[in-house]
Structure 1
Amino acid sequence: MRSKRLLMTCMLGLTPMGISSAYALSLEESVAAAIDYSPEVLGQYARFQSVVRDQDEAQGFYLPQVNLYAAAGYEETRYSSGNKIAPDDRGLTRTEMGVKVSQLIFDGMKTSANIDRLGYEAESERLTLIADAENVALDVVRVYLEYLKSQQILELSKRNVIDHETIYNNILDRKKKGLSSNSDLAQIAARVATAKSTLISAQNNLYDQEAQFMRLVGLPTKELVTPVFDYSLLPPDLDIAINQAVENHPEIQAAILDIKAAREEVRREKGGYYPELKLEAYGNKNDNIGGVEGPEEDARVMLTLDYDLFNGGSTNARVESAAWRAEQARSIRLRAERQVREGTTLAWNAYNMLDKQKQLLQQNVDAAKAAEDGYVQQFNVGRRSLLDVLDAKVEVFLARKNYVNASYDHTLAAYRMFNAMGILTYALRVEHPEEWQTEKEKRG
């Protein structure tokens, strides 16, 4: 596939397709590599190709079928007629060779219906492949953003430890001068331990994100690049977003094709109510047949009719079974539309609510930082306790951490909306491999 070259060149440390350096990997490049690396996508691609080959096999029934038959062996024949006193036994070496050419003329439209059914199924599998790629892309976006978020939280945790250690050193110096007590020193020591524990937790979380990234993408994180979000692709309101999602989502389109395929299956099974008409030509060249020495040759061209007048109701059962599968396909299509509507609505609400939350959290950060600065000044003149200062620093750390979480969650909600609408890979400018495209798409 197209992006396998990307995967290999990244592993070799080269710079294909605009990669800025051997140590940088953008979100778009990560998604492209993950799509080729994903076992789910590879398995679905194999399924798609299998159904395409099934359609090719079904189309072969429109062409003449040519069969060659040959056999050789020993044949012993015993005759006992009223004209002979003793039976006449003969043993001869028998040979047979024949060719049969058969051309289907009419089979109740079973072949045409089966070809159409497999065509719909192949296109459905192709769209399912695209839907799987969309889901893989969302997984990569999620872990990519989580890794960047974990990096920022790790930096905040490191800064938090440094701030607490600085206070600890100041309190230790003040204690030596008799300006602070042992309880103050113990208090700040406890806060330093808590800050370091938080730092370890942040580092462990970053390691977890690295492992998940490697599992999905198959490449080390290196230096990930903060993605630039294309806000112009966002729909103006929820109704438009839902309408676009229902119209364009590959899972819904695949479900619609599954309904068409199920209807063609019903048509195929109804072909059993009609006779099968073929034009057949035979040619045989045999020797020593039935105890008669010498060659035996014959050739014939015949129009054959095969009509199943009664088969115990099997045809009726197959038609009804196919009809129920069509009903199942309709219910799957309905379920897919409901899921798409729900996913789009949830992502839309999350995006808008997190946007409002970000603004409030930014105010929280500014206010907490101003309070911290004021508490430090007041502590230096004896108007605030050490506990007030430490609590203020914790408040600033948590406010910044909450803002970072909300900021990345807000970006993820936007990408989730694209995924719910079925256009995430398009929004990321990640092209599907040529093998996934129809002939119309390849022609542009």
Structure 2
Amino acid sequence: MSVTFSGFARAESLTNALAKAYTNNPAMAAALISVKLASEDIVLRKAGQRPQVNLSGTTQYSWASVGGSTTANTNTTLNLQYNQRLFDGFKTAAQIDQARAYANATTHSLRNTEQNVLLSAATAYMDVVRDTNLASLRADNVKFLRAQVSSARNRLNIGEGTKIDVAQAEARLAQSVAAYKSAVNSLRTSQASYVRWMGSKPSGLNSNFKFGNVLPRSLDEALRSAKANHPAIQTAMAQVEAAKFGTDAAMRAFGPTLDLIGSICAIDCGGGSSQGTSGSIRLTLAIPIYQGGALGASARKANLSHINAEVDARATVNQVEEAVISAWSGLQSSIALIESANAAVRSSQIALDGVIEERNVGQRTTLDVLNARAELTSANESLYTAQRNKVVAAFSLVSAAGKLDAASLHLPVTIQSADGYRARVEDIWGELRE
């Protein structure tokens, strides 16, 4: 499928505009950072299974004065402590799995943001194309009606017209000027939206775009693709998985914990009075018996969160299916409207040319010409709107099918992904100090 609008001196293709949106839009950058943040949560949860080593030191200076005699002493203590949780009923393991599921959810959310950005960018692009055409069309209509006002006045002056003809032409001209100004304001709004999504001003657009195989050929194909590929559904399913692991973690908090604790202490009391090293190692078993109801509340809350995530996932599936059907219907309607509008433009142009000829020989009135021109203008406006709606509906359908991404559209960009970041940090043991 391809759509082309002509009449622009310079051209920025829709493909290049989408590449700009993908590369420059801050929503993409924010979503990418969210994936990296979620990756760090995996590391934080893994820390619960790793040893903790702390070094502390204390230096104390003391003195005493008794009977005119003063004594002083310096006491220095260094303590190296090791803590390792050996067993916690697999609570930490469940929390790690939960963090991974949340990281997966943010990865899918990044793809969903990508779809939304590209769809919004395509919509903004086509809005500029439509509004540019409408503004140009209405400017031409103003010129035509000014010519009709002048013609009506000339015919009145030579006795072939009436004041009514002049008044009717002037009234239509006033309406046309107002419509033109409205079109210019709409164009300015569309241009502002274009800048928001693409990061640059439109400077002549060429909306030729080939979807290739990403555009579903049937409604059933679109629905199957949506269920398998839509990132909003995949995000919701990952959140269900995360909530399930959250419930597991909450239930395992009722179990015992076993900790290994070791320490080495070096003492120097100063003056050679006392120096030495001591150490200890111990195992500590803790069994929760009563925590004021906190454990039970946490378990119930986690279970409710799991249920809520499943409900949200079902709602997301329904919303995506609705979006697919709506986009498919919109695309089919736009195709039919374009065919109808093209026929209306052709017939209206022929009718206008005929009415003008008949008016020139006295068989039609100025009002007939004005009405014929209004029909032609309306048909052209419907055509431009239908052409815009067709492209936007096609992008909406690709998005609803879960395939509106830079890779599938073959955009000339570097694909943004946090997979490498997650792989680098997930198994880092060292502390980062700057």
* TM-score in terms of structure 2 length: 0.86
The one of 413, 423, 436 equivalent to 2:393 is 413
Instruction: Report the equivalent of 2:56.
Output: 69
Kindly tell me: are residues 409 and 122 of structure 1, through their superposed partners in 2, closer, same or farther at Cα, counting changes over 3 Å? same
The one of 318, 324, 333 equivalent to 1:353 is 333
Pairs within 5 Å for 1:41-80: 41-74=28-61
Distance in 1, Cα, partners of 2:206 & 2:342: 23
Pairs within 5 Å for 1:281-430: 281-288=262-269, 293-426=273-406, 427-430=408-411
Which secondary structure state, in structure 2, belongs to the residue aligned with residue 199 of structure 1? helix
Note if contact 1:140-1:216 (Cα within 8 Å) is conserved in structure 2: yes
Kindly tell me: are residues 402 and 425 of structure 1, through their superposed partners in 2, closer, same or farther at Cα, counting changes over 3 Å? same
Instruction: Report the equivalent of 1:143.
Output: 124
Which secondary structure state, in structure 1, belongs to the residue aligned with residue 253 of structure 2? helix
The one of 229, 236, 255 equivalent to 2:236 is 255
What is the deviation of 1:250? 0.5
Note if contact 1:101-1:282 (Cα within 8 Å) is conserved in structure 2: yes
- RMSD across aligned positions (CA): 2.8
Instruction: Report the equivalent of 1:16.
Output: none
Note if contact 1:284-1:297 (Cα within 8 Å) is conserved in structure 2: yes
The code of the aligned residue for 1:56 comes to V
Distance in 1, Cα, partners of 2:394 & 2:422: 28
Distance in 2, Cα, partners of 1:295 & 1:60: 36
Distance in 1, Cα, partners of 2:415 & 2:127: 31
Pairs within 5 Å for 1:194-273: 194-230=175-211, 232-273=213-254
1:29-70 superposed Cα distances (whole Å, 9 cap, x missing partner): 323333444343333332221111121122233333211121
Distance in 1, Cα, partners of 2:212 & 2:189: 30
Which has the larger displacement, 30-39 or 62-71? 30-39
User: Larger relative CO (CA 8 A, sep 6+): 1 or 2?
Assistant: 2
What runs of 5+ residues in structure 2 fail to find an aligned partner? 1-8, 65-70, 424-434
The code of the aligned residue for 1:64 comes to P
Instruction: Report the equivalent of 1:274.
Output: 255
What is the deviation of 1:312? 2.9
Kindly tell me: are residues 231 and 363 of structure 1, through their superposed partners in 2, closer, same or farther at Cα, counting changes over 3 Å? farther
Note if contact 1:418-1:424 (Cα within 8 Å) is conserved in structure 2: yes
Kindly tell me: are residues 24 and 431 of structure 1, through their superposed partners in 2, closer, same or farther at Cα, counting changes over 3 Å? closer
Kindly tell me: are residues 432 and 70 of structure 1, through their superposed partners in 2, closer, same or farther at Cα, counting changes over 3 Å? farther
Note if contact 1:238-1:345 (Cα within 8 Å) is conserved in structure 2: yes
Distance in 2, Cα, partners of 1:250 & 1:43: 17
Kindly tell me: are residues 401 and 246 of structure 1, through their superposed partners in 2, closer, same or farther at Cα, counting changes over 3 Å? same
Kindly tell me: are residues 179 and 397 of structure 1, through their superposed partners in 2, closer, same or farther at Cα, counting changes over 3 Å? same
Which secondary structure state, in structure 1, belongs to the residue aligned with residue 208 of structure 2? coil
Kindly tell me: are residues 422 and 348 of structure 1, through their superposed partners in 2, closer, same or farther at Cα, counting changes over 3 Å? same
Which has the larger displacement, 419-428 or 387-396? 419-428
Kindly tell me: are residues 433 and 125 of structure 1, through their superposed partners in 2, closer, same or farther at Cα, counting changes over 3 Å? farther
1:73-111 superposed Cα distances (whole Å, 9 cap, x missing partner): 25699xxxxxxxxxxxx9854332111123332221122
Which secondary structure state, in structure 2, belongs to the residue aligned with residue 436 of structure 1? coil
The code of the aligned residue for 1:357 comes to L
Kindly tell me: are residues 313 and 440 of structure 1, through their superposed partners in 2, closer, same or farther at Cα, counting changes over 3 Å? closer
What is the deviation of 1:281? 2.7
1:231-262 superposed Cα distances (whole Å, 9 cap, x missing partner): 54322321221121121110110111111111
Instruction: Report the equivalent of 1:9.
Output: none
What runs of 5+ residues in structure 1 fail to find an aligned partner? 1-21, 78-89
Distance in 1, Cα, partners of 2:421 & 2:62: 61
Q: Is 1:164–2:145 an aligned residue pair?
A: yes
Instruction: Report the equivalent of 2:431.
Output: none
Kindly tell me: are residues 55 and 226 of structure 1, through their superposed partners in 2, closer, same or farther at Cα, counting changes over 3 Å? same
Note if contact 2:32-2:418 (Cα within 8 Å) is conserved in structure 1: no
The code of the aligned residue for 2:175 comes to T
The code of the aligned residue for 1:174 comes to R
* TM-score in terms of structure 1 length: 0.84
Q: Is 1:26–2:13 an aligned residue pair?
A: yes
The code of the aligned residue for 1:175 comes to L
Distance in 2, Cα, partners of 1:76 & 1:434: 69
Which has the larger displacement, 157-166 or 292-301? 292-301
The code of the aligned residue for 1:400 comes to N
Kindly tell me: are residues 137 and 150 of structure 1, through their superposed partners in 2, closer, same or farther at Cα, counting changes over 3 Å? same
Note if contact 1:287-1:295 (Cα within 8 Å) is conserved in structure 2: yes
Instruction: Report the equivalent of 1:8.
Output: none
Distance in 2, Cα, partners of 1:435 & 1:386: 61
Note if contact 1:269-1:319 (Cα within 8 Å) is conserved in structure 2: yes
1:174-217 superposed Cα distances (whole Å, 9 cap, x missing partner): 33332223332232222222222222222221111111211222
What is the deviation of 1:406? 1.2
Which has the larger displacement, 326-335 or 50-59? 50-59
Distance in 1, Cα, partners of 2:397 & 2:213: 13
Aligned residues: 408
The code of the aligned residue for 2:295 comes to T
Which secondary structure state, in structure 2, belongs to the residue aligned with residue 273 of structure 1? coil
Which secondary structure state, in structure 2, belongs to the residue aligned with residue 221 of structure 1? coil
What is the deviation of 1:282? 1.7
Note if contact 2:156-2:163 (Cα within 8 Å) is conserved in structure 1: yes
What is the deviation of 1:302? 3.0
The code of the aligned residue for 1:166 comes to A
Which secondary structure state, in structure 2, belongs to the residue aligned with residue 424 of structure 1? coil
Distance in 1, Cα, partners of 2:248 & 2:56: 34
Which secondary structure state, in structure 1, belongs to the residue aligned with residue 385 of structure 2? helix
The code of the aligned residue for 2:378 comes to L
